[in-house]
Structure 1
Amino acid sequence: MGEGWGARRGGDAGAAGADSVEAMRERLCSKVGCAREAVSTLTYDYGDQMAVLGPLGFGGDPHAHDLCAIHTDRLSMPKGWVVVRHETLAQR
């Protein structure tokens, strides 16, 4: 995959501090053809037929998928799968 893919997904997972936060803000939705900013991260456990949807992760995991707000809301899984949604408290 080209240089643009890694930059688009937020770069190195080992980065710390302000660089990590800034990289998270630059990530886009993983859905093909979607150019919206990612707001959540989706991971799968195929053995347990479970999908976990949570706040935007730090990146660098090739098995994680970043989703925009629209695709987060539209998420559906195959029959029999469990979806665990981890919500964060809104900042005031």
Structure 2
Amino acid sequence: MSCNREAVATLTFDYDGRMVALGPLGAGDDPHAHDLCAQHAERLSVPSGWTVLRHASFRVDATE
């Protein structure tokens, strides 16, 4: 099942670096990018030890 809300952000992963980047909507041509609505972007959670880079606030969230 997919979300019906309008996408506002694009999520990309770096599995080797254990990092997730969340930023403005991408062009849509990257098969490894996933578009998220505002609610899902806000609720984003990642595995323990991964880092989240959030473009909008330029902050880094590290989970332990």
**TM category, shorter:** 0.7 to 0.9
How many aligned positions are there? 57
Which runs of structure 2 are paired with 1:68-87 in the superposition (5 Å)? 68-87=37-56
**What is the Cα deviation at residue 74 of structure 1?**
0.3
Residue in structure 2 matching 1:61, options 30, 41, 45 = 30
- The higher radius of gyration belongs to 1
TM-score for the superposition, normalised by structure 1: 0.59
Question: 5+ residue gaps in structure 1?
Answer: 1-31
Residues 1:37 and 2:2 aligned together: no
Q: Distance in 2 between matches of 1:83 and 1:47?
A: 14
Give the alignment's TM-score, normalised by structure 2: 0.84
Which whole-Å deviations, capped at 9, do the CAs of 1:7-56 have from their partners, x for residues lacking one? xxxxxxxxxxxxxxxxxxxxxxxxx3311110000000000000000011
Q: Secondary structure at the match of 1:72?
A: helix
Match of 1:12 in 2: none
Consecutive unaligned residues in structure 2, runs of 5 or more: 58-64
State the identity %: 63
Tell me whether 1:51 sits opposite 2:20 in the alignment.
yes
- Structure with bigger strand share is 2
Q: Note the aligned Cα RMSD (angstroms).
A: 1.2
What corresponds to 1:28 in structure 2?
none
How many Å separate the matches in 2 of 1:87 and 1:59? 19
Specify the alignment match of 2:62 in structure 1: none
